[in-house]
Structures are given as C-alpha cells and as structure tokens.
Amino acid sequence: MDTVSMPLRISDLLVRPDLGLSVTYDVPPALLARRVEAATVSDLPAPGKWLQGGELLMTIGLLLPADAAACRAYVRDVAAGGATCLALGLGQGLPYQEAPEPLVTAAREVGLPLLTVPDEVPFIAVTKAVFDARANEQREVLHRAFATQRRLTAAATGDGLRPMLAEWTAATGVGATVLDPLGRLLAAGDREAPAPPPEARDLIERVAARGLHGSAAGTAAGRRLEVQPLGARRLRGLLLLTGRPDAAARSVVPGLVSLLSLELERRHLRDEPERRRRSALLSELLADDQPSAERARDLLASAGLSAERVRAVVVETACGPGGAAWAGAGEGAAQEMAADLALAMPGGLVRVTDAGLVEAVVGEDLDIREVLGRFAVRCPAGIGPATGPETVRVSLRQAAGLLAVSRAGGRPAEVRQSEASRLLLDLGDRHTLHGYADTVLGPLDLADNGEELVATLAAWLESGGAWDATSRRLGVHRHTVRNRLDKAMDLTGRRLDDPDDRFDLWLATRIRGGGAPAPGAPGTPAPDAPGTPGTGGTSGHPIVPPHGTPRAR
C-alpha cells in the first residue's frame, strides 16, 4: 500500500514552535489525536449551533461566564457542536492572562481539550496553519488518487480483470472482487481472497435486481462492504469492495468501475463466437427428430453440458407491464437476453428463433427460476420437464405450450408431475375459486372441529382414499378418520362413493390449499416410500383419482 500523509491532529499543532500553543490540563493522548478539520473564531456565549464539526474554536473569552455552572454549560455547548478543541487567547488588554480555573475544570469534565494561545500569536496565524495543513492533505489525496488511477489504467492493458483488482488492493488496502450477475466469483485482487461473507449476499442481490441503477453498502464483522454494478448498457457483473476506502481511494472508485465495466464488455464481445457455436449445436440437436441417446449426449458434452437429465426453457422477449426493458426492442433485445442467459447457465445451450423467442437447454439441477428472475423479469417463460438429452424436443414443446399460461399468471410456468391441478387453478379467478370452496366446505367451517374435519378430508382424498395411510399421516386411529369423515359427509350432505361429490370435495380442498398440496402442510400427506399403500407412480407424490372408486375401508 502506498505511503499516505496523515491528517492534521491537535498534537501536530502543539509541537509547532511558531504557534506556541499549550494545554491547560493533562489531556489524554486519545483526545490530542483528534482530527482538526478547520479553525474558527467566536466569542458568542453559545456558539455550538454555528459549528459543523471538527473545528478548533478560538475565543478571547469576552463573554465567557465566570461561575462554574455557566462555564460547564458553555463547554458542553461547544462540545455538542462537534468542536475538536477549544483555544483561549491570552495577553495584555485581553480579558484573560491565564485560563480561568472554572473553564479548565469544565473542559476536563467534558473531555474537551482546552488550549491557550499566547499574546504574540494572532488567531490568524493559527487559522493559516490549519488551512495550510488541510490544503497539503488535499493535495496529497489528489496525488495518490492520480497515481492509483494511472496504475489501474496501466493494468487495464493487461489480460483480464485480476491485474486491475490486484493493483487496486495494493494501492488502497481495500479488497476487491468481481462477481457475475448471479453472484458467482469471476476474479479477485488477492488470489487467496475468501469467498464473499454471507452478509454480502443481500447487498449483491439488491444491486443485481436494480441493474445499473444503484449501489449498496453495509457492514459485516466490523468491515465495510460495498457493491457497485458493472457494465455499459446491461449489467455484466458486480464489484464487491471489502474495507473502507480513504478519501483518495474513494475518488478513484468511479474510475475502477469504468475500467472493469470496459473489460467485461470486451469479454462479452470476445465470447460472441462461442455463443454462436453453442446456438448452432442446439439447432443441430433439435433438428433431428429422433436422435440417438449417444449422439445427443455427445452434442451436449461438446458444449460442456454433461448432465444426465436436461430441461428446455422458452422465453418471450416482449414483456408485459414493467418489463419495458425488452418490449419493442426486436431481435437485438432477444440476442441480448440470450447472451445474458448463456452467461448465467453453466454449460447451457441458448438460441434465438426466427419468431424472436429465446430457447435454452440446461441441466436439471440448475435453479432456472432464479436465472429467469434476474434476466427475464416479467417476461413470459415456460419451463419443460426434465428428460434425457435425446428427448429434449419433447421438453421444449411442453415449455413452449406454457407461454400462454405464463402470460396469464405473470410468472414462469413449469411442467411438473402431480402439479396439473396447481396449473389449472392458477388460471382461475381467485375470488370465484374461493367462493366455490366456501360453498362446498362451508358447513364444515361452522362445526366446532371444522378445521380438523377439513384437514382429515383433504388427507384422505390426497391419499387416494387409503384409510390406513390417512391415519398414519394424521397420527390418529383409522376409526377416528372414519368417524370424522362420516361427520363431514353428514354436515355437507355429500357421499364419498359418489364421483361428482368426491370431485367437488377434492377440488375445494385443493383450492383451500393453494392448488397442489404443499409438503408438510396441515392435513396434507407427506410422500410415501415406494410401495406404500395409498400411493401410485414413482415420483414420490400421491396420485389422486377424484372420480375413481374409493378403496375399501
């Protein structure tokens, strides 16, 4: 780290023989280390409200009170105004030839350094000394800022982000890390730099969500954290600073952000041929109606995607309200979105169709909703089911079929087993659906143990009418389940062996549960182990046959 000039402190003024300043009591070293920002003169009886903080306040004591209580009030007013210290001018023809004891005592009690200025030293000499020192300090700050900026500019001619980050850390002592828009590490100034602390995650997500429109700062374990967006027209990355930059370093932060942004834009352009190659690979994969499993896996592997199962994603670039960043921007917008998604999808293949849709194939384990929430905000998107690479065309077709659903629901729509009911219910008017559920289940709501009855009914329906499975899930005896359901049927006037009644009850409980049941919710079954009675299929979700015949009691 470069050598820096120290700020002006009280102790620096005391050692200057031309000023002749003296302390009036044994001032602790910590108080003498206070920084002096300015010097001013005032003989007001209460000058505190006119101070800005950091001043050396000088007075000849013309209106200084004589009694101890009034002196104490005066000193407290000066300290409350933020003054670094108080200096009393002494001399012939002035009110005081030495500091009065009540004033010294009050200064000691309050912890405000009290100095004296000798008769031969005018206040203007002290003022000039303070401002000369401050001017020198500012010049040193500018010198160090220019020197740091030159070092960063020279490093920018090197290869990649790290040389600039390393120069920054060496010059300022502040850690610097560049992350991609999803918070993944791209480069750090220190090769041994630790991962960003958990406290930085919130700052990173807040800045990433705003794009290029703002930064954020906070603290973690006593260290300052600051996140700055990087990029020219689009968010290309994030700069995380760990530590508190001084004045010189602070003035260079905008230059660092600009240089890093240019490097990320250069990297973006440099990667264009690779994006085109991967787009061609995806087109080649989808052009084959029935590719062999081996050929499909080889194509994906050549792009770095080795997942056993993949899923397709389709995104419309013409967003709805609030998504104006893409709306009406044509093919350029689709290409920009495709580039962003390609950056955020490790090993994923992305292309833009002639219709302006963005299609992608990604590994099953990727949190695709997080990616869409960052780079395709409020844009209709369909997410296909996970399949083998050779049948990804099927996943793509299903994803495209969900665009209308996503448009209506205002969020990405995803194909999942056992979630067809959630998909259909999400398309309905919420007030109408809940009114329907209230009509069917209203008699149970009025009963003393209504919640218990509804929960038992929902569990029985979700288990496919399996009494033993329902009793295990609710932790009650099967006769208790039977008695509760008999009472529920008496109250509602419904019959469990009637397909229409059973469907009405199933749909009403699904509406009350928000669509497909949430695992672990009250009255909802947990997935059974394979082979457990009352479940079907192999997905771990119960299969509900609302029109089917109830299983025997």
Q: How far apart are CA 508 and CA 506, in angstroms?
A: 6
DSSP string, 89-105: E--TTSS-SS--HHHHH
In one-letter notation, the amino acid at residue 24 is T
Q: Which two tokens stand for residue 29?
A: 């070293």
- Decide if 146 is inside a domain: no
- Asked if the model's pLDDT at residue 370 lies above 60, the reply is yes
CATH number of the domain to which 477 belongs = 1.10.10
pLDDT for 39 equals: 94
Q: What is the SS3 assignment for 239-253?
A: EEEECCCCHHHHHHH
Same domain, 257 and 181: yes
Judged on CB neighbours under 10 Å (0-12, 13-18, 19+), 379 is: buried
- Decide if 44 is inside a domain: yes
Q: How far apart are CA 545 and CA 82, in angstroms?
A: 76
Same domain, 71 and 110: yes
Q: How many domains does the chain have?
A: 4
- Decide if 108 is inside a domain: yes
Q: Which residues contact 82 (CB under 8 A, 6 or more apart)?
A: 51, 52, 53, 54, 55
Same domain, 263 and 314: no
In one-letter notation, the amino acid at residue 225 is L
Q: Which two tokens stand for residue 31?
A: 């108080």
Same domain, 444 and 527: yes
CATH number of the domain to which 321 belongs = 3.30.70
Q: How far apart are CA 530 and CA 533, in angstroms?
A: 9
In this predicted structure, which of 236-250, 373-387, 407-421, 458-472 has the lowest mean pLDDT?
407-421
Q: Decide: helix, strand or coil at residue 237.
A: strand
Same domain, 293 and 326: yes
Q: What is the dihedral of CA 38, 43, 45, 47, to 10 degrees?
A: -20
- Decide if 149 is inside a domain: no
Same domain, 111 and 72: yes
pLDDT for 118 equals: 95
Say if residues 518 and 510 touch (Cβ distance below 8 Å): no
Which pLDDT band holds residue 85 (cuts at 50, 70, 90)?
A: very high
Q: How far apart are CA 196 and CA 221, in angstroms?
A: 12
Closest CA to 41 of 55, 26, 21, 27: 55
- Decide if 143 is inside a domain: no
Q: How far apart are CA 172 and CA 205, in angstroms?
A: 26
Q: What is the pLDDT of residues 307-362, one digit of tens each?
A: 888 888 999 886 644 343 444 445 677 888 888 888 777 777 899 888 889 999 98
Same domain, 408 and 476: no
pLDDT for 519 equals: 39
Say if residues 547 and 499 touch (Cβ distance below 8 Å): yes
Give the range of the structural domain holding residue 113, as residue numbers without chain letter: 10-131
Same domain, 444 and 502: yes
pLDDT for 520 equals: 38
Alpha-helix runs per DSSP H in 185-232 = 198-210
- Asked if the model's pLDDT at residue 525 lies above 70, the reply is no
Judged on CB neighbours under 10 Å (0-12, 13-18, 19+), 40 is: middle
Same domain, 350 and 411: yes
In this predicted structure, which of 147-161, 359-373, 526-540 has the lowest mean pLDDT?
526-540
Which residue would you say has higher pLDDT here, 306 or 34?
A: 34
- Decide if 142 is inside a domain: no
| Strand ranges across the sheet with 381-383 | 349-352, 357-363, 310-316, 381-383, 413-414
Q: Decide: helix, strand or coil at residue 79.
A: helix
C-alpha angle 532-534-538 in degrees, rounded to nearest 5: 60
Q: How many residues does the chain have?
A: 553
pLDDT for 103 equals: 95
Q: How far apart are CA 298 and CA 296, in angstroms?
A: 5
Q: How far apart are CA 185 and CA 241, in angstroms?
A: 13
Same domain, 425 and 548: yes
- Decide if 26 is inside a domain: yes
Which pLDDT band holds residue 416 (cuts at 50, 70, 90)?
A: low
Phi, psi of 387 (to 5 degrees): -140, 175
- Asked if the model's pLDDT at residue 100 lies above 80, the reply is yes
- Decide if 144 is inside a domain: no
pLDDT for 547 equals: 37
Q: Which two tokens stand for residue 473?
A: 């899930």
Q: Which residues contact 498 (CB under 8 A, 6 or more apart)?
A: none
415, 434, 450 — which closes off a domain? 415
Q: What is the pLDDT of residues 101-110, one digit of tens each?
A: 999 999 999 9
Closest CA to 386 of 539, 159, 257, 209: 539
| Strand ranges across the sheet with 216-220 | 185-188, 175-179, 237-242, 223-230, 216-220
CATH number of the domain to which 31 belongs = 3.40.1390.20
Q: What is the dihedral of CA 14, 15, 21, 27, to 10 degrees?
A: 40
Please give the average per-residue pLDDT across 87-91, as a whole number: 94
Q: What is the pLDDT of residues 126-164, one digit of tens each?
A: 999 999 988 888 888 888 888 888 888 888 887 789 889
370, 396, 415 — which closes off a domain? 415
pLDDT for 541 equals: 32
Say if residues 516 and 430 touch (Cβ distance below 8 Å): no
Output the average pLDDT for the chain: 82
Q: Which two tokens stand for residue 497?
A: 């062996």
Q: Which two tokens stand for residue 489?
A: 């049927």
Q: How far apart are CA 268 and CA 351, in angstroms?
A: 16
Residue 484 CA to chain centroid, in angstroms? 48
* % of the chain surpassing 70 pLDDT: 86
Which pLDDT band holds residue 532 (cuts at 50, 70, 90)?
A: very low
Same domain, 177 and 106: no
Which residue would you say has higher pLDDT here, 103 or 419?
A: 103
Please give the average per-residue pLDDT across 22-49, as a whole number: 94
351, 380, 415 — which closes off a domain? 415
Q: Decide: helix, strand or coil at residue 539.
A: coil
CATH number of the domain to which 169 belongs = 3.30.450.30
Q: How far apart are CA 124 and CA 41, in angstroms?
A: 9
Q: Which two tokens stand for residue 66?
A: 């004589």
pTM: 0.56
Say if residues 351 and 338 touch (Cβ distance below 8 Å): yes
pLDDT for 324 equals: 39
Same domain, 408 and 428: no
Q: Which helix (H) or strand (E) holds 169?
A: helix 162-172
Q: Decide: helix, strand or coil at residue 127.
A: helix
Please give the average per-residue pLDDT across 417-424, as a whole number: 52
Q: Which helix (H) or strand (E) holds 227?
A: strand 223-230
HSE-CB for 208 with a 13 A CA cutoff: 28
Q: What is the pLDDT of residues 435-452, one digit of tens each?
A: 778 878 888 888 888 899
